[in-house]
Chain A
Amino acid sequence: MKITDASIHPYPVGDSTLARMALEAAGLGFDSIVAIGDVGHRPDGPEVLRGAVISAASQKEVIKQVREPAARRADVVYVNAGDISFNRSIVTLKGVHVVRSIHATRRNAFDHVAARSAAEHNVAVDLSMAPIIQLRGTKRQRALQRYTDILSLQRRYGFPLTISSGARSILEQRSVRDLRGLCALFGMTGEEVSEALSSIDRITRPDQPVKVVR
Chain B
Amino acid sequence: MKPRPPAMRAKRRYILARILPYGVAWDQKQVYLSVIEAATSLWGDAAIGFAQPAVVFCDGGYIVVRCRRGTEKDIATALATVNAIADARVALRTVATSGTIHALRRRMKPIRPLSEAGEVKFGETYFTVYRYPRQKVDLVEKGIKHQKSLFFTEVDLEER
Interface residue ranges, A against B (CB under 8 Å): 11, 15-17, 19-21, 23, 28, 43, 132-134, 136-137, 140, 169-175, 177-178, 181-182, 184-185
A48 CB, nearest partner CB in chain B, Å: 13
Q: Which residue of B is nearest A19, CB measured?
A: B153
Cross-chain contact B93 with A175 (CB below 8 angstroms):
yes
CA distance A122 to B89 in the complex (A): 38
Q: Which residue of A is nearest B74, CB measured?
A: A181
CA distance A174 to B137 in the complex (A): 20
CA distance A140 to B93 in the complex (A): 21
Cross-chain contact A178 with B153 (CB below 8 angstroms):
no
Tell whether B29 is near chain A: CB-to-CB under 8 Å: no
Residues of chain A within 8 A of B93, CB atoms compared: 28, 175
Q: 1/0 per residue B76-95: CB within 8 Å of A?
A: 11001101000001110110
CA distance A177 to B151 in the complex (A): 23
Dominant secondary structure of chain B at its interface with chain A = mixed
Cross-chain contact B76 with A181 (CB below 8 angstroms):
yes
Q: 1/0 per residue B39-52: CB within 8 Å of A?
A: 00110000000000
CA distance A177 to B17 in the complex (A): 13
Cross-chain contact A182 with B150 (CB below 8 angstroms):
no
Dominant secondary structure of chain A at its interface with chain B = helix
Q: Given A170-B20, A173-B91, A178-B94, does the pair A20, B153 have CB atoms closer than 8 Å?
A: yes
CA distance A75 to B83 in the complex (A): 31
CA distance A16 to B156 in the complex (A): 10
Tell whether B57 is near chain A: CB-to-CB under 8 Å: no
Cross-chain contact B77 with A171 (CB below 8 angstroms):
no
CA distance A182 to B149 in the complex (A): 27
Residues of chain A within 8 A of B156, CB atoms compared: 17, 19-20
Q: Which residue of A is nearest B82, CB measured?
A: A133
- Chain A to chain B contacts (Cβ below 8 Å), 20 pairs: A11-B152, A15-B150, A17-B151, A17-B156, A19-B152, A20-B136, A20-B153, A23-B153, A43-B155, A170-B20, A171-B89, A171-B90, A171-B91, A175-B93, A181-B77, A181-B80, A182-B77, A182-B81, A184-B77, A185-B77
CA distance A23 to B94 in the complex (A): 17
**B81 in complex: contacting residue of A11, A132, A137, A173, CB < 8 Å:** A132
The 4 A-B pairs with the shortest beta carbon distances in the complex, nearest first, are: A181-B77, A16-B151, A178-B80, A171-B91
B21 CB, nearest partner CB in chain A, Å: 7
B110 CB, nearest partner CB in chain A, Å: 17
Tell whether B112 is near chain A: CB-to-CB under 8 Å: no
Cross-chain contact A177 with B94 (CB below 8 angstroms):
yes
Residues of chain B within 8 A of A28, CB atoms compared: 93
Tell whether B105 is near chain A: CB-to-CB under 8 Å: no
A186 CB, nearest partner CB in chain B, Å: 12
Residues of chain B within 8 A of A174, CB atoms compared: 80, 91
Q: Which residue of B is nearest A173, CB measured?
A: B91
Residues of chain B within 8 A of A175, CB atoms compared: 93-94
B94 CB, nearest partner CB in chain A, Å: 7
Tell whether B11 is near chain A: CB-to-CB under 8 Å: no
A100 CB, nearest partner CB in chain B, Å: 21
